[in-house]
Amino acid sequence: MKTWIGIGASFAVAAMLGALHYAEANAVLQFVVGIIALALLAWTVGVGTETVGSRFGSATTGVLQSTLGNLPELFIVVFALRAGEIVVAQTSILGSLLANALLILGLAIIAGAFRAENGVMRFHRRLPNDTTMLLMLVVFMIAIISTSISLGDKASDNAGTISVIGAVLILCVYGAWIANYLRAGAQQEPAIDQEHAPPMSFRAGVVVLTLAGVAAAFTSEWFVAVIDPATEDLGISKAFTGLVIVAIAGNAVENVVGIQLAWKRRFDLAISVVKNSVAQIAAFLYPALVLISLLFAQRLTFGVPAGGLVLVVALVFAALAIWQITGDGEAAVYEGFALVATYAVLATVVWFE
Amino acid sequence: MKTWIGIGASFAVAAMLGALHYAEANAVLQFVVGIIALALLAWTVGVGTETVGSRFGSATTGVLQSTLGNLPELFIVVFALRAGEIVVAQTSILGSLLANALLILGLAIIAGAFRAENGVMRFHRRLPNDTTMLLMLVVFMIAIISTSISLGDKASDNAGTISVIGAVLILCVYGAWIANYLRAGAQQEPAIDQEHAPPMSFRAGVVVLTLAGVAAAFTSEWFVAVIDPATEDLGISKAFTGLVIVAIAGNAVENVVGIQLAWKRRFDLAISVVKNSVAQIAAFLYPALVLISLLFAQRLTFGVPAGGLVLVVALVFAALAIWQITGDGEAAVYEGFALVATYAVLATVVWFE
Amino acid sequence: MKTWIGIGASFAVAAMLGALHYAEANAVLQFVVGIIALALLAWTVGVGTETVGSRFGSATTGVLQSTLGNLPELFIVVFALRAGEIVVAQTSILGSLLANALLILGLAIIAGAFRAENGVMRFHRRLPNDTTMLLMLVVFMIAIISTSISLGDKASDNAGTISVIGAVLILCVYGAWIANYLRAGAQQEPAIDQEHAPPMSFRAGVVVLTLAGVAAAFTSEWFVAVIDPATEDLGISKAFTGLVIVAIAGNAVENVVGIQLAWKRRFDLAISVVKNSVAQIAAFLYPALVLISLLFAQRLTFGVPAGGLVLVVALVFAALAIWQITGDGEAAVYEGFALVATYAVLATVVWFE
């Protein structure tokens, strides 16, 4: 019952945004309603995926979940690219990465370590280390192309071509990894409680998923259209909007799950939800969007403009931080605090940009 | 008896510096006497702290020791800030970090591994990894603000405000860590030999500590006043003075302890003394001084001026080096050499700046 | 028999290059023949070393092998320095490092993990971690001097002096490491099959080694002379030539061994061959060449010119990648792919420079 209320609310808020959009209402109002609509639709997509996925076993569900869970994110970036909002497109991808890797992981660790018996949350080391590897690969792409651009050398004129080649290579590595992950996962016991029955029938799940996808597409378009006037009225920079507001809205609800699982002492599953999300945005969503952007006038590359080297530094440290903190399969409360503090410092810097 | 001679010597040399100061003696002479006075007072503070701390149990003593052991360092930076010597202030903090993390740790590892049975010094991995984490957090602050400054973007105009927010966040993480460390330490056996009786009574310890603190304050003020003319006469750059000379003088004696302990095969305690010192300078002294500097005209920030990016590179590699070398709980002689070589290269580069 | 045909072929191709050189044949033809000659001579040196080394036990042979195996590389750099081709000299050292650390290690891991029982190649962690340490030390030298050069500060005027001091320090660390490695190796069982009889007598081995050394010297000189006109005709940048073509030609054959060993499930030996090669180029060949270059007008330093910061970024990530992937003593197929992808991206970037 609660599930259906939530689903209804997500469609209602999305419809409200549509009404405000065509009524040409106040930009800031539309902006706020848009954030709420996106967060609720992300949750609805999550419920739909879980239902549909319950037919396939846990590892497949996990991958389905993170893939479809990134649907709203995908739409925002596609519409931002179509609207020529290249800064919002790129910063919202990088922001999702950083928000997941620092803020959400930090909160999950704080919750988990607080509830763990001797204050130390323990989990398997393989997935965190694989995520670090995939993240490092993408951060390398970003760092090398951005350095080239900031030097203004010849390679920077070909940032688009290099990004396409890099995107294909990264997708191959991701493919090899996910194939191995699914194969290994098929032999494991189900990650998700079997007792926890799906909240609706398979058929209803497919319908909800389809409708939520369509609604997410429209909502993203309306939201992107209002970013420019709203951020101007609010006096917030576009980088802050992409890196913090859109990033948190697009991932918030799905990530609450990670923190809840940590609180319930299901440490491995919590880490798996958060880390899979990071791995997927870095090594699937970003390269896929680089290839998709070939259809648009505005091309998305792995290169950050010279003024954005701060972001490259932040990404390098985020990759090192999650490696250092989760690589040993143990995390204490203060390590969670350190991740959250890193994110807060970054948000502060971007606020002033 | 030997202790009292040492304490007497430290006050005598400090008094001699005072005499030279008011006699307006040769700057280079004052500079050299100042370095000796600071090193001796650092040792006296150490003796006083050990005595006073013997009332409280080992973990508390350890923290007291590193906190008060950084007293001379603190005074130098405060007086340098008051005198407007911002380069000396900042480089002497960063220099203390680098000298501890590279030179002192390297020497302790060489001593320890040389004396270990099969040439490998072994110790618990938790503390080194926590220190790496705290150091990385501060290096992230420094790197992101320094990048922003070297790009000259909008955030760089707010380096002061961002540093204050960052300082508060880092102090919170440090607080969470030290609370956990003290709690865990309370259950452990004493770190320091019980047989090793304190060299004086509790009351005498308090008096020595107070007098040494006052003497350190005066000495620091006199020393800072003479840095400018002395380095000019000697032809040494201010960066080298701060990074190497002041850094070693302010930490030398307390760190000899770390190397001695390694030689005596007390590997965990040796690592604890050196690592606690690094963690404290990075995550307590530096942010505390950023907040204290709000009282002065010259503000201390986490931002290194554009020309000092070399220091940021050195800090990043120092953090990676101590992580890589001590993170596995084992260190061989050549790893100690590598740390010392890194410090020597850095000192050479700074010498030519 | 097959061995003697290979040795004959290597001298024949080297002689052919000589003939083409004095006939002033087409530059591109000479360039291609030169690459083949260098690769074959590298293999002949390998055979000779193995024979000579079979007198000394396995650890000594390993070190002899990697030292003499880098002979062609050494000659190319020396002749490039004499010819004033400083870009080719430096990029071919850095290229050898990157090709070994990323491409060859990646291929060895793919081969090994594919053949391992559960898809994970396992090996001892000590050597990979030591290699990471030595590589980090050299990358630190390169990064700090290159940063100084790109800032154009005072230290950059002394890049030569700083490089010489750094080279001596790195050679000391390498010496301490190799002494320890040989001592530990002397107690281990032989790394190379005892049944695998050397392909010729000791005396023949010495003759082959001497002749191959002389041939490598001549071939290198002829090859370096033709780089300029050939790359101009082919439209390839000098950086790509040094970083990719010369680097692979100079190391190809000796590295095929590493990949073959991984395929034969001799995981520790495979890792040892590849990693020793990386360690040796970084911590022995490069600093030794810096010292040797004191004899020439063109000095080799650890500083990369400002436009080459892309290489510094690549080196930092290469060091982090091999640390992250091999530091835990396990590697899966997709981790091998990630290393190869990193190398491919780098080669693409350099192609466009």
Q: Which amino acid is at C107?
A: L
DSSP single-letter state for residue C78: H
Q: Which of residues 140-169 of A touch C (CB under 8 A)?
A: 140-141, 143-145, 147-148, 151, 153-155, 157-158, 161-162, 165-166, 169
Q: Is the ipTM of this complex over 0.85?
A: yes
Distance from CA of residue C129 to its chain's centroid?
19
Q: pLDDT confidence of A2, banded at 50, 70, 90?
A: confident
- Sole residue written with tokens 């090709």: C99
Instruction: Measure C342 CA to nearest chain B CA, in Å.
Output: 21
Listed residue (C70, C109, C29) closest to C282, CA to CA? C70
**Which range among A243-252, B58-67, C139-148 shows the weakest confidence by mean pLDDT?**
B58-67
Is B173 in contact with A332 (Cβ distance < 8 A)? no
Q: In the prediction, which pLDDT does A91 show?
A: 86
Rg (chain B; Cα; Å): 20
Q: pLDDT tens digit string along A84-107? A: 888 888 888 998 899 888 998 999
Helix segments in C23-158, DSSP class H: 27-53, 58-69, 71-82, 86-98, 105-115, 126-151
Query: Tokens at residue C273, please?
Result: 């061959």
Q: How, if at all, do strands B330-332 and C120-122 pair?
A: unpaired
Whole-angstrom distance, CA of residue C208 vs CA of residue C6: 12
E strand intervals along chain C: 120-122, 330-332
Q: pLDDT tens digit string along C32-85? A: 999 888 888 878 887 887 777 777 666 677 677 777 777 778 888 888 888 888
Whole-angstrom distance, CA of residue C218 vs CA of residue C38: 10
Contact B293, B167 (CB under 8 A): no
| Most confident among A188-197, A213-222, A240-249, B132-141 (mean pLDDT) | B132-141
Whole-angstrom distance, CA of residue A126 vs CA of residue C309: 33
SS3 percent helix, strand, coil of chain A, rounded to 5, is 80, 0, 15
Residues comprising chain C, all counted: 353
Q: Give the up-direction half-sphere exposure of residue B189: CA atoms within 13 A in the CB hemisphere.
A: 4
Q: Which of A332, A348, A352 is closest, CB to CB, to B154?
A: A352
Mutate to test the interface with A, among B149, B169, B181 (most CBs of A within 10 A): B169
Mean pLDDT of all residues in A144-163 = 84
Is A310 in contact with B147 (Cβ distance < 8 A)? yes
Mutate to test the interface with B, among C150, C173, C177 (most CBs of B within 10 A): C173
Q: In the prediction, which pLDDT does A194 show?
A: 47
| Most confident among A22-31, A69-78, A242-251 (mean pLDDT) | A22-31
Q: Which of residues 167-226 of A touch C (CB under 8 A)?
A: 169-170, 172-173, 176-177, 180
Q: Which of B119, B335, B353 is closest, CB to CB, to C155?
A: B353
Mean pLDDT of all residues in A160-170 = 94
Question: Considering the entire predicted model, what is its pTM?
Answer: 0.89
Phi then psi for residue A189, to 5 deg, are -70, 155
Whether pLDDT at C310 is above 50? yes
* DSSP output for B162-177: HHHHHHHHHHHHHHHH
Q: pLDDT tens digit string along A217-227? A: 888 888 888 88
Whole-angstrom distance, CA of residue A253 vs CA of residue A249: 8
Q: In the prediction, which pLDDT does C298 show?
A: 84
Directed axis angle between helix C58-69 and helix C71-82, to 10°? 30
Q: In the prediction, which pLDDT does B241 show?
A: 84
Q: In the prediction, which pLDDT does A284 show?
A: 92
Q: In the prediction, which pLDDT does A247 show?
A: 81
What does the CA dihedral C177, C247, C45, C278 come to, rounded to 10 degrees?
A: 20
DSSP single-letter state for residue A331: E
Query: Would you give the end-to-end CA distance of chain B in angstroms?
Result: 45
**Chain C residue closest to B311 (CA)?**
C144
Contact A103, A256 (CB under 8 A): no
Q: Give the up-direction half-sphere exposure of residue B143: CA atoms within 13 A in the CB hemisphere.
A: 25
Whether pLDDT at A195 is above 50? no
Q: Which amino acid is at B331?
A: A
- A296: buried, middle or exposed (CB in 10 Å: 19+, 13-18, 0-12)? middle
Contact B231, B83 (CB under 8 A): no
Per-residue pLDDT of chain B (353 residues; tens, 9 = 90+): 778 888 899 999 999 999 999 998 898 999 999 988 888 887 888 778 777 777 776 667 767 777 777 777 888 888 888 888 888 888 889 988 998 889 989 999 999 999 988 888 998 888 888 989 999 999 999 999 998 888 877 777 788 899 999 999 999 999 999 888 888 766 554 445 544 556 678 888 888 888 988 888 888 888 888 888 888 888 888 778 888 888 887 776 667 777 888 888 888 888 887 888 888 899 999 999 999 999 988 889 998 876 778 889 999 999 999 999 998 888 999 999 999 999 999 999 888 87
For residues A41-59, b (16+ Cβ closer than 10 Å) or e, as one string?
bbbbbbbbbbbbbbeebbb
Phi then psi for residue B25, to 5 deg, are -70, 175
| Most confident among A34-38, A85-89, C154-158, C162-166 (mean pLDDT) | C162-166
Q: pLDDT tens digit string along A275-324? A: 888 888 999 999 999 999 999 888 899 988 767 788 899 999 999 999 99
Interface A-C: count of C-beta contacts within 8 A = 89
Q: In the prediction, which pLDDT does C196 show?
A: 56
Contact C166, C287 (CB under 8 A): yes
